[in-house]
Structure 1
Amino acid sequence: MSEAFEVPSPHEQHVEHATKNAHSHGDNFASKIAVMTAIMATIGALLSYQAGSTESEAAMDKNNAAIKKTEASNQWNYYQAKSSRQNLSELAIHIPGLDAAHYAAEAQRYKDQKEVVRIKAEALEMEAREWDEKSELALHQHHRWAQAMTAIQIAISLAAITLLTRKEWLKRVAYSAAGVSVVLGTLAWLHI
């Protein structure tokens, strides 16, 4: 029968030793850092969710803009077809032996239809611009959430190093990074 042996790394031994000593001596420093790290991890999870959500929203808005641009392009193609038919009807008016009144009426009909198509194409282009603007705003908000997430990850890393080194100044730096993260998250929440 074979037995498996676990050989802990020096880092794991140090963390285990520091944790045992902290608990046996009532170490408030380690406890405060541990609680703050848990709070920062929770904030990080919320920031990560919001970053992903706004990224998806920006992508959907950009997709809607592309759909509207395609619809507008189709309308402009239809407009061009009506223009060609109008031009052919106007040419037919001047050909001897053809019913000029009929082709004049056709030219007017195509001209009227063209106007309706132009209005629709311009409206679709406007919708596409609106979707693009929404996408840009959502993407800007996504970047704010991502910046906040990066700052909180740095804060968590600094808190872990603080726990190992027990440096008070490093704890203040970790808390400052967490504060920056909260400020960036607030800016993202307020769409700034």
Structure 2
Amino acid sequence: MSGHGFHVHGPHDHELEHAASGAHHGPASEGKSGHSGMTSQIAVCTAIIATVGAIFSYMGGATQANAGLYKNNAAIKKTEASNQWNYYQSKSTKQSLAEFARDTSSDDRKQAWQDKAARYEREKAEIQSAAQKLEGEAEDWDRKSEAQMHEHHRWAQATTILQVSISLAAIALLTRRKWLERGMFGVAAAGLVVGLLAALHI
């Protein structure tokens, strides 16, 4: 407090003044300074790793959702293809009946049955083409789903590795071990490599 030009310093004020004036230059203060620098470095790196890990986690969730969506599309196309093949089978049955009727009917009815059989044959060709196209689309969606799942696993691996790196950072802060700090950086680098592989679809 101040009154008539008189000011009373608290203990923390005294320490701050000494720190500001560079009064603490002994070995103990150097050790504290080194530890403070290590703490700051690890804290900043941990924040960066956590941010990158959050991005990797989001990408992993997005690719997993895409994989499920693509697999659902594949199932829809397979169902549509199956319906087309059932339709094809019904046309094939009608064609067989028309051919049987043609072979057993009188001469004046043979041509009419033959025309029906020919029409069913043409319709079967169109239905077959549509069914094969749907099967091809289903296979494409399956391949896309598998590719997305592969990416999902890569993103998940990268996220897990970065989480291990953050754990190492916490242990390094508690133990003040430089080799743990170096280990943190090494594991983080491995996580970034795996994340790069995921981004490159490898």
| TM-score of the aligned structures, taking structure 1 as reference length | 0.85
For residues 173 and 30 of structure 1, the distance between their equivalents in structure 2, rounded to whole angstroms, comes to: 15
Runs of 4+ in 1 over 3 A off after TM superposition: 22-26
For residues 107 and 96 of structure 1, the distance between their equivalents in structure 2, rounded to whole angstroms, comes to: 14
For residues 33 and 190 of structure 2, the distance between their equivalents in structure 1, rounded to whole angstroms, comes to: 34
For residues 170 and 35 of structure 2, the distance between their equivalents in structure 1, rounded to whole angstroms, comes to: 19
Identify which of 40, 49, 68 aligns with 1:59: 68
Q: Report percent identity of matched pairs.
A: 51
For residues 41 and 171 of structure 2, the distance between their equivalents in structure 1, rounded to whole angstroms, comes to: 14
Partner in structure 2 of residue 182 of structure 1: 192
SS of 1:99 mapped into structure 2: helix
What is the 5 A alignment of 1:26-175? Answer: 27-97=36-106, 99-175=109-185
For residues 112 and 43 of structure 1, the distance between their equivalents in structure 2, rounded to whole angstroms, comes to: 59
| TM-score of the aligned structures, taking structure 2 as reference length | 0.81
Deviation at 1:110, TM superposition (A): 0.3
Gaps of 5+ in 2: 1-30
Give the aligned CA root-mean-square deviation in angstroms: 1.7
For residues 23 and 120 of structure 1, the distance between their equivalents in structure 2, rounded to whole angstroms, comes to: 76
- Give the counterpart letter for 2:93 in structure 1: S
For residues 56 and 151 of structure 1, the distance between their equivalents in structure 2, rounded to whole angstroms, comes to: 22
Deviation at 1:96, TM superposition (A): 3.9
Structure number with larger C-alpha Rg: 2
Deviation at 1:165, TM superposition (A): 0.9
Q: Number of paired residues?
A: 171
Deviation at 1:155, TM superposition (A): 0.4
Gaps of 5+ in 1: 1-21
SS of 2:201 mapped into structure 1: coil
- Give the counterpart letter for 1:66 in structure 2: A
For residues 199 and 52 of structure 2, the distance between their equivalents in structure 1, rounded to whole angstroms, comes to: 13
- Give the counterpart letter for 2:132 in structure 1: E
Deviation at 1:101, TM superposition (A): 1.4
For residues 74 and 93 of structure 1, the distance between their equivalents in structure 2, rounded to whole angstroms, comes to: 28
